[in-house]
Amino acid sequence: MKKITISTLMAWKQEGRKFASATAYDASFAQLFEEQEMPVLLVGDSLGMVLQGKSDTLSVTIDEIAYHTRSVRAGSPNSLLMADMPFMSFATPEEACKNAAVLMQAGANMVKVEGGAWLADTITMLTQRAVPVCAHLGLTPQSINIFGGFKIQGREEEKAEQMVQDALALEKAGAQVILLECVPKALAARITDAVRVPVIGIGAGNATDGQILVMHDMFGISANYIPRFSKNYLKETGDMRLAVSRYIEEVASGEFPGPEQTFN
């Protein structure tokens, strides 16, 4: 696989070419993903749930994300590697810079932060200091105690309009990727059209530029539960490499996510 950069994703958006991505936490799976030409990988704070068995992501630390980022980078030199900024690690722009440096030095190409327009100054400060940023909107799991659970976001028109405005504000602030989690398909489509940067969806329908899955969900082996919007590709292929390539193909063709994995 040739080196994937933010320019690659921008070009794909303009061509209307849909791309897949997945979480990864170790070198062996990162290498397997790279061999199947998965262009984008994320060291997600979901590792608190799927690796550590916790019921949410709040306890994950910057050092844990950095540890896994080093492993994933070792297995996948050419993917665009995103790393999650954990809960409270970007509470102020200064803390965000200090913590983002740890992840970039561990091998990330981009950091991801959860939140809306209030993050504009943080995102500007990071991008000015050469840290590319993905802004995560919709169901932001670090806000579970505000939301009262992992619930779909943006159902009411007022909330939907707010999310469109948040996406525009964060793009203007410098965000180079937007990630939408658990939002109705029509809202994800609206945001994907409204911004120039690539939009990656999870539980957001098939109109976004890219898709992401937690790798354990792709294989149907997640601890606790498997979200409704994910799909077990191991069950239908019986082989991990085939599962990954099937997922990549179904994203490219628009077949995944289908109606069963979509909120309307």
Active-site hit among 181, 249, 255, 260: 181
What does the binding site for ligand MHF look like in residue numbers (CB under 6 A)? 46, 49-50, 57, 139, 141, 150-152, 182, 214, 216-217, 222, 227-230
What does the binding site for Mg ion look like in residue numbers (CB under 5 A)? 44-45, 84
Q: Specify whether 181 is catalytic.
A: yes
Which residue minimizes CB distance to ligand MHF? 228
Q: Which one of 34, 181, 209, 250 is in contact with ligand KIV (CB under 6 A)? A: 181
* Binding status of residue 183 toward ligand KIV by CB under 6 A: no
Q: Which one of 9, 170, 178, 179 is in contact with ligand KIV (CB under 6 A)? A: 179
Concatenated DSSP letters of the chain: -PPP-HHHHHHHHHHT--EEEEE--SHHHHHHHHHTT--EEEE-TTHHHHTT--SSSTT--HHHHHHHHHHHHHH-SSSEEEEEPPTTTTSSHHHHHHHHHHHHHTT-SEEEEE-SGGGHHHHHHHHHTT--EEEEEES-GGGHHHHTSS-----SHHHHHHHHHHHHHHHHHT-SEEEEES--HHHHHHHHHH-SS-EEEESS-TTSSEEEE-HHHHTT--SS---TT---HHHHHSSHHHHHHHHHHHHHHT-SS-GGG---
* Binding status of residue 125 toward ligand KIV by CB under 6 A: no
CB of 238 to ligand KIV, least distance (A): 25
Partner from ligand KIV, Mg ion, ligand MHF, none binding residue 93, C-beta < 5-8 Å depending on class: none
**Residue positions annotated with a catalytic role:** 181
